[in-house]
Amino acid sequence: MQFRPCIDLHNGKVKQIVGSSLTDSDNSASVNFESDQSPAEFAALYRRDSLLGGHVIKLGPGNESAAKEALAAWPGGLQIGGGITADNAADYLAMGASHVVVTSYVFRDGKVHHENLQKLVKAVGRERLVLDLSCKQKDGRYFIVTDRWQKFTETEVCPETLQQLAGSCDEILVHAASVEGMMAGPDLQLVALLAEHSPVPVTYAGGIASLDDLESIRKAGNNKVHITVGSALDIFGGTLEYRDVVEYCRL
């Protein structure tokens, strides 16, 4: 289990936002934390600790300069997501991203756009592509959600879907949208599902607030599921010490 850190960008600043509060109106988002530190400073921290596979996520417009700053601080060390398409994906790799993280270009309007996924694979290759399967539970099953996590698709996060999508990507990033940013504990049922059925490396995000939560994920995920932690970390205004998480995941 690896620690995959994050740099979430909103209006050019490093922030932590309650995911389900993010809408097309940027001013309506519920902000847990806004940092005075630059994106490059966070990237430099992760670089010093050799935390490969972290992701820079652009939450809406106004984040291009901040994203470039982060990527320049650690060429090849960070993934990037937010507004990625087949037309611009290669540009972000040229800026220094190791992978592009794709959400709305493939998952939009309550649908999975398989033709766009194939365009991305053709543009950059599956080995440079990470798919963000943000999902919520409904009637005991998990479904991919789109449009800033407001719309349910008909695509279930299940063994068949994971097998199918794994053929077109190098990794999968899963945000448990119902608990993201709430620091109320992870969705261990989802973690177990991912550990058992994802054929490619998978990173889980959502609800992590303590070292006990990390231990629960390690057990539920059979030590296979990587984690990212946001609002709970002390570097983002929380009480969970970044250094403790780094050391725990090195055990």
Which domain covers residue 40, as residue numbers?
6-248
- Residue 222 inside a domain? The answer is yes
Domain count, the chain: 1
In this structure, what are the phi and psi dihedrals at residue 9, rounded to the nearest 5 degrees?
Answer: -110, 130
In whole angstroms, what is the distance from residue 7 CA to residue 42 CA?
A: 7
- Residue 240 inside a domain? The answer is yes
- Residue 95 inside a domain? The answer is yes
- Residue 130 inside a domain? The answer is yes
- Residue 56 inside a domain? The answer is yes
Exposure of 9 in the CB half-sphere (CA atoms within 13 A): 27
**Cα torsion at 138, 142, 148, 151 (round to 10°)?**
-50
pLDDT for residue 181: 60
pLDDT for residue 149: 76
CATH number at residue 56: 3.20.20.70
pLDDT for residue 250: 93
Output the tens digit of pLDDT for each of the chain's 251 residues.
999 999 999 999 998 875 555 555 545 567 778 889 999 999 999 999 999 999 999 988 999 999 999 999 999 999 999 999 999 999 999 999 999 999 889 988 878 899 999 999 999 999 999 999 989 999 999 999 887 777 888 899 999 999 999 999 999 999 998 776 666 789 999 999 999 999 999 999 999 999 999 999 999 999 999 999 988 999 999 999 999 999 999 98
- Residue 66 inside a domain? The answer is yes
pLDDT for residue 17: 74
Q: What share of the chain is helix, strand, coil (3-state, %, to 5)?
A: 35, 25, 40
In whole angstroms, what is the distance from residue 27 CA to residue 165 CA?
A: 34
- Residue 1 inside a domain? The answer is no
Three-state DSSP at 54 gives strand
pLDDT for residue 29: 62
- Residue 112 inside a domain? The answer is yes
Query: With the C-alpha atoms ordered 164, 167, 169, 174, is the resulting torsion angle positive or negative?
Result: positive
End-to-end CA distance of the chain: 9
Q: In which element (H, E) is residue 188 found?
A: helix 188-197
Q: Within the chain, what is the greatest distance between any pair of CA atoms?
A: 44
Q: What is the pTM of this model?
A: 0.92
User: Residue 17 burial by CB count (10 A; 0-12/13-18/19+): exposed, middle or buried?
Assistant: buried
**Cα torsion at 179, 6, 114, 120 (round to 10°)?**
170
